[in-house]
Every structure is written in C-alpha cells, then in structure tokens.
Structure 1
Amino acid sequence: MRVNQYIQGLPCWVELASHDALAGKQFYAELFGWRTQDMPIPDGIYTMFGLTPDSASDGEGQDDIGAAYQMPKEMSDQGVPTTWLVYFAVDSVDETVEKVKAEGGSLSMGPCDVGTAGRMAMFSDPEGARFAVWQAGEHIGARRQGEHGTLCWVELATRDPASAKMFYPNVLHWTSHAGDMPEFEYTEWLVGDKPMGGMLQMNEEWGEVPPHWMLYFAVDNCDEAAAKAKQLGGEICVPPTDIAKVGRFAVINDPQGGFFSIITLNLQQSASHLA
C-alpha cells in the first residue's frame, strides 16, 4: 500500500552499506523483485531500491523503499561488515541529537542536510547498536509497505534491555509492552498504539555478536524466499521457522555478509502491524 507520511518514531527508510554494492544490488533485486536506480553522489553511486510502480504512483521516486551504497574503503579495512541500517522518522533531527547525547548515545554522522530531500543523523545507542533518524523534506522515506519486499518489523538485540527501555522512549518517544512470546521474554516497541518493532535480550549463545538492529522484510512465502536466497549465494543462518500467532521467518546473510530477516506474517498480524 502507499505511504504518504511518517510520524515521529516510525521506521521510515533502510540503507545497505555493502562491501560490494554492485553484487549486493543484484542479489536483492533478484531476491525481492526490487527495481534499482543509480544516482551519482560525491563519493560514488547511491542505488535506490523500489517496487514496480503501482497505479497510485504519480512520479519518479514514488515507489522507493530503500537504498544501497559502496562502503568506503577505510571502513571496510577496519573490519566493518556489510550492514543494513534503519532510519526512524523524527520531527527535528537537531533536537534528537541532543536527546541521544543526554541519554548516553553517541553521534557518528551529521546532523546534515541531504539536498532538499531531508535532514539526517546517524547514532550508536549506549550499547553500540547503530541507527539513524530522518527529518523529511521532499522525500519522506519508503513509499510502500505491506507488500512483498517491504520492511515490516525492526528488532533490537541487546544485552541490556532495561537500559534500552529508557534510552529509546526518551529519544524517539516510544512506549513498550511485553510481547506474547511464551518461550522467552520479548518487548514490543509502540508508536502511539501501533506496534512497529521489538526487542530481545542476547544471552551467552550469541557469543561476541554486538548489539544490533535486525530488519525484517515481508515475503509472500518464507520457504520459497529462503531457498531463492540460498540459490543466489546467500547463507541461511536460521532456517524457516514458525512463530506462534505471528508467522514464519528466516534469518539470512547476503553474499557480502549483510544479515537480515524475511517473514511471512499471518493475515491477522499483517493487518495489525502494517495498517
């Protein structure tokens, strides 16, 4: 469905920093059926991902859902992995910068204007999980959701959920409540009364994996999409697995090592989470 605006705190954009952006965009285009559009930027190429324009599209960029770019060599040389980054909509980037600093997070880039498209900044939370914020100008962010290949959920993996429950509500105005996961403790993040993300606690089984945000993309059939990802050179980290009352998901590493999840939501969850 079409999206015309995002309110404070909602995930609004996703961005892939890849060790091989050319191979990466080919992988995702084939996996999700995304179209790609390369745009020149001072440091190289910024590739816009989008869905096939629908009947409601009224111009260029009206079906954008995310983007990718080549990770700078100095970052890859430092061992930074191919990474997906989520952007959250904010009313004021500059006010959010001050809130992040006050709550113990750190600013890693910005704040800066992106032409007339909007204003952005990137951060790490107190545990090091990276995220970004976007103050819309002419570009609100992703223009489609609730369809195959679109972002449908974001999930924080953290070793200190109590700290996160203070940091993110104070920075992004979220609320939280306990999720319906009988096997383990799970927190849902809400914007208003809308669940849009979650949080789980990392235990010793996670080893040295750093705290991070996991992105979930909706797919029509989880098993078929996972098999296709493997065929395209991806690695299946968690095979297709049912989540009671939610749907069926899998965790995948793309050929460059970028991790993400896919999920086929049941009809009830699709309606409640994406409406």
Structure 2
Amino acid sequence: MSSSGAPETNNPPPVPPEGSPCWIEIMSTNPPKLKEFYASLFPSWNWKPANEEYKEDFIAMYDFKQPSGISGGIVKLPEGCVQSRGEQPMGIGFTVYYFVESIEKTDKRIAELGGSMCLPKTEQGKNGWFANFKDPEGNRFGVYELNRSK
C-alpha cells in the first residue's frame, strides 16, 4: 500500500502528449541545499530517494504527486559552468509557473527561505494573477494564482 492508502501498482507514470512539459530542471551549485528551499516552499512535491546511480549531491529528483507524467530535478552545475547569482533576466530562457493559493503568502514564504521577487503580482486578464521570483541561487520561476471569484 502507498502512504495514501491506495494499492501500489507497477504501472509506469502516464506518458504526456507530445509537446507537453515532462521535466523541469533547476540548475544548482548545491542541490541538497536548494532542495530544502523548494521542499519548504512546496511541501506537496514528492522527493524521490537518492540511490547509487542518482546521488543527491548531484541530483534531487521530484514529481508532483499527480498522474501528470511531469517530474524534475535539481541538478548539479557541471564543473566549468559559471552561474552568476540573479543573472537570468526576464524574457531569457524558460519560466515554469506553479499554481499557488495566494501570491502574497507565497512571496512572504519565498523571502523567508532566501528567495526574492523579480516581477510583482500582475493581473492576467480575468483569470488570475502571476508573479516571478528567484530562488536563492538566482533561478527564475513563476507562480500563478487563479481568480476564484469569477
């Protein structure tokens, strides 16, 4: 039995349709430390145990506890790669957005955990709001709050 009480199966996770997100990679100089940030910010993420092939000082893998087929990892930057803190400008690279209940509460939690806001709460039509943040190592990500009053 799984911890949810549902019987465990050996079925692989569903394969998402072609073109769907399937992996979210967060580069890090210290994967275990950055894992603490994301594990505290998003306690619903399911962290996979490290093993001989995937040691946690190299990669901390996770999924989203749902049958989406989307997973990710905090991956150690290869030697020789230089990462300048906070140098991922808006409009460069990919931005992954995560649903949150409240951008204000999330902003407070991110600041407590050592991250920072780089784009304040912005209205997205009548559907909701988004904001962009940087984790403690300068990786940019977004959050999205749904307008539940419409």
TM-score in same-fold range (> 0.5):
yes
Change (3 A) 1:63 1:232: farther
Give the TM-score of the pair, scaled to structure 2. 0.72
Structure scoring higher RCO (CA < 8 A, sep ≥ 6) equals 2
Match of residue 136, structure 2, among 243, 252, 255 = 255
| Partner Cα separation in structure 2 for residue 39 and residue 226 of structure 1 | 33
Match of 1:69 among 50, 56, 75: 75
How many pairs were matched up?
134
Cα distance in 1 for partners of 2:93, 2:69 equals: 27
> 1:30-69 counterparts in 2 under 5 A?
30-33=40-43, 34-37=45-48, 38-41=50-53, 45-51=58-64, 53=65, 65-69=71-75
The aligned residue for residue 24 of structure 1 is: 34
Distance in structure 1 (CA, Å) of the matches to 2:106 and 2:38: 11
Which amino acid counterpart does residue 76 of structure 2 have in structure 1? Q
Deviations 1:166-211 (A, max 9, x none): xxxxxxxxxxxxxxxxxxxxxxxxxxxxxxxxxxxxxxxx7xx673
1:71-220 alignment, distance < 5 Å = 71-76=77-82, 79=83, 211-220=92-101
Q: Is the 8 A contact 1:16 1:82 kept in 2?
A: no
Could you tell me which of 136, 142, 145 is aligned with 1:264? 145
* Match among 80, 105, 117 for residue 224 of structure 1: 105
The question of whether the paired residues in 1 share the 8 Å contact of 2:129 and 2:145 is answered with yes
Query: Aligned-pair distance for 1:81?
Result: 6.3
User: Residue 137 of structure 2: SS of its match in structure 1?
Assistant: coil
> Residue 22 of structure 2 contacts residue 70 of structure 2 at CA under 8 Å; is this kept in 1?
no
Higher relative helix content: 1
Unaligned runs of 5+ in 1: 85-205, 269-275
AA partner of residue 32 (structure 1): F
Greater fraction of residues in strand = 1
Q: 2:119 & 2:144 partners in 1: Cα distance?
A: 12
**Identical columns (%):** 25
Q: Which runs of 4 or more aligned residues in structure 1 lie more than 6 Å from their structure 2 counterparts after TM superposition?
A: 80-84
TM-fit CA distance, 1:75: 1.1
For residues 83 and 11 of structure 1, what CA distance do their matches in structure 2 show?
Answer: 24
Alpha-carbon contact 2:14-2:69 (below 8 Å) kept = no
Deviations 1:55-81 (A, max 9, x none): xx8xxxx987321121122113xx466
Q: Which residue of 2 aligns with 1:240?
A: 121
User: Rg larger in 1 or in 2?
Assistant: 1
TM-score (norm 1): 0.42
For structure 2, the residue ranges without an aligned partner over 5 or more in a row are 1-12
Asked if the contact 1:215/1:260 (under 8 Å) is kept, the reply is yes
